Chain A
């Protein structure tokens, strides 16, 4: 006997909602999904009319559905937003080039313009070449740090007011758990905020903060949305994998546990007296950083000087290296100076014709 949709519209139910377990028909599910995102956006006051918003698009399910829903809600509720898709090319063959094709298709299908920035242009290195240098253990560190800055730089180029990313409830719950496991209280305090960003940085928000990953897949499936769904070929060894497995087990025991974890994350803050990193600006490229030299510059320095593990080990080694750089430059002229404003090609054998140091945000010209 067919089950009736529990939203009482009279139709037969075709799916069971992962978030609440209710049986719903397709239309009511779409409505529930869209209204919940709309509620998240309005309750948190994410946008004002006239905002120019960049949608971080990777071609994966979260960003495809995000682009679709943002456009739909923008039209339906007259948010008054101007939308653009912003995509980052990390240079991972067999993964990123395929997903970029998806984003290009999305540009056509949803009628939202697209801008692509690549690691090659920005840093002079692709992920494939970075993995060759560092091996497979800490590649996610490089990619994550570089991608965050790449998004910021791309957004700055476009002149957008805000960025939205497709982080869903599962991602945030996973991040809460991972930060507890790693002891990172600074990030723990920030990670449940729906809007992140500070002085001088374009704010990013997460409209899918309370949306389950399974529901996003379900929405895309029933709406027949086109996306690229393979795991990054370099990802299996990340420590985050442990938190993910734990979260999936919790979800199997109790479906609401994902939101419960987020609620817990929202309910605590850091005790007074605990040392927290302060925010300042990177000496070299001007990007926001909690250290004198930002992580991206440190990692890049390591890659260029043939010491790929520079940013991944002890901070004291980083300081030593940087100190040695400045004493060398004042002495002999064998090692090139690391002047932030001029783009000098380095003397060490370089595989790229672009400069390997980061230019300041202001001097970028594409």
Chain B
């Protein structure tokens, strides 16, 4: 319903026609002395200088008002090569060259994550990395390059510093890691799982690089438009608890603080900026699975709604800003000791705080209950099972089997204990794995044909957490 302001609710009005400035007769609304060249927000016309001033001011004030970036800070800036990243690169350079007191004072170093593993070994795609490095170097900055497939390695790989001379060398490719990565991706049964996995792995690589290069702070070029789409798609994926970490200006995760200085700039504003400054945008190859995924469905929805209701993206963005995760709120209230968040409380795949301690009256528990009553796989639940029949597992434990058959060959009517054992072990492994993942990652996990293909680091983390859980149980009575 379209209701009034006391709740801060925005009245959704339909879009009227955009202001037409092509005839060159509309004056800038700010200085009223120059001809307008840019239209923002449907009807606001700006001249070139006023627009550039507005744009750069927004960027600097986002950084300045947060008071989180101090002079001399070493910051790793993640680039994708797209419009937002390119604008970020140029804004940083302008800001550093500024001679007034508004000069930006930090030391940026740039990082590009090479994703050509996703596209096979097409040469022109792999040449993109050269172009990006060139662009960064031409502005006088250092650029590191990391490969997406390095997330599959057990030990983090140090990103390589690319220099001008390197242009002639082909960068080394670890074929083994590439193969593992491709296997993992092809084992995804749905496009949504692929896209989500890609997103999480990319974030992991960025964090790993920052950590191994010794940076505490990182900039990412997310703009308002992509963040609004992300807010809705994260909600749709069940990752609502991670919303603050992916959307707010500052997000502290484990050892790196991630900042998003472009967050208040809309996509069309960025395009105007690049256009006015005559900056060419390299077109990075973007990963687009063929079928519809949750993320692509959301993006389409937001963009089409934005056409009809121009207040959509700003509203979604502002809403996202006001939200925090319930788990972190609760922890803040309970204790303030730094040890309260042990490594056992983080998801093994995406590294975010676990949001699965929800109690019995929750959506999470409801899905567990549903599976219990209709699925063929037995679940370990504390509720009263409807049919009790003990089932001996491979390691000798009995577990109640609530009316579900265990083995696929129950259908065929024959029992084969050997297959039972293997299915048992696999099921046991995926159960353990599931306990170490957040809700969103569990949903993605269901779409993976073979969980053994997950990155080695993830599996190592799971094994470690399992071990710690056993240790904790042993000393449970003595923990205060």
Interface residues of A (CB under 8 A from B): 4, 6-9, 17, 19-20, 22, 24, 28-29, 31-32, 35-36, 39-40, 43-45, 137-138, 140-141, 144, 176-177, 179-188, 194, 209-210, 238-240, 242, 245-246, 249-250, 252-254, 256-257, 259-271, 274-275, 277, 290-291, 311-315, 318
Contact = CB atoms under 8 A, between A and B. Distances in A.
Given A8-B403, A176-B235, A249 B301 contact: yes
A201 B233 CA distance: 36
A183 B315 contact: yes
Contact of B12 (A19, A239, A252): A239
A261 B370 CA distance: 17
A90 to B, nearest CB: 15
A240 B1 CA distance: 7
Nearest to A317: B4
B289 to A, nearest CB: 11
Contacts of A22: 374-376
Given A6-B404, A39-B369, 17 more contacts: A20-B371, A28-B374, A36-B369, A43-B359, A137-B2, A181-B315, A185-B323, A245-B301, A253-B294, A257-B238, A263-B238, A263-B362, A263-B364, A267-B327, A268-B325, A313-B4, A315-B6
B241 A264 contact: yes
Given A44-B361, A254-B190, A315-B6, A260 B366 contact: no
Given A261-B238, A266-B363, A182 B4 contact: no
Give the top 8 A-B pairs by smallest Cβ distance, nearest first: A264-B240, A260-B238, A267-B241, A210-B366, A44-B361, A32-B373, A43-B360, A263-B363
Contact of A20 (B239, B293, B370, B440): B370
Contacts of A20: 370-371, 374-375
B411 interface: yes
A324 B234 CA distance: 48
Contacts of B440: 260
A125 to B, nearest CB: 17
A177 B235 contact: yes
Select the residue from A40, A254, A274 with max chain B CB neighbours within 10 A. Answer: A254
A210 B363 contact: yes
A355 B479 CA distance: 68
A274 B235 contact: no
Nearest to B375: A22
Nearest to B438: A267
Contacts of B449: none
B370 A267 contact: no
Contacts of A24: 374
B410 interface: yes
B322 A43 contact: no
B4 A36 contact: no
Interface in B334-386: 355, 358-367, 369-371, 373-376, 383, 386
Given A138-B2, A261-B238, A268-B241, A181 B312 contact: yes
A4 B235 CA distance: 35
Given A8-B404, A183-B10, A186-B7, A36 B373 contact: yes
Contacts of B323: 185, 188, 268-271
Contact of B232 (A17, A177, A291): A177
Contact of B316 (A180, A254, A263): A180
Given A6-B376, A253-B297, A270-B324, A188 B319 contact: yes
Contacts of B403: 7-9
Contacts of A257: 236-238, 294
A245 B327 CA distance: 31
Interface string B281-301: 000000000001110011001
B405 interface: yes
A45 B361 CA distance: 9
Contact of B10 (A182, A266, A311): A182
> Which of B5, B234, B361 has the most chain A CB atoms inside 10 A of its CB?
B361
Contacts of A45: 361
B247 to A, nearest CB: 11
Contact of B405 (A8, A29, A253, A270): A8
B258 interface: no
Given A36-B366, A266-B363, A185 B319 contact: yes
Given A6-B374, A181-B315, A264-B240, A315 B5 contact: yes
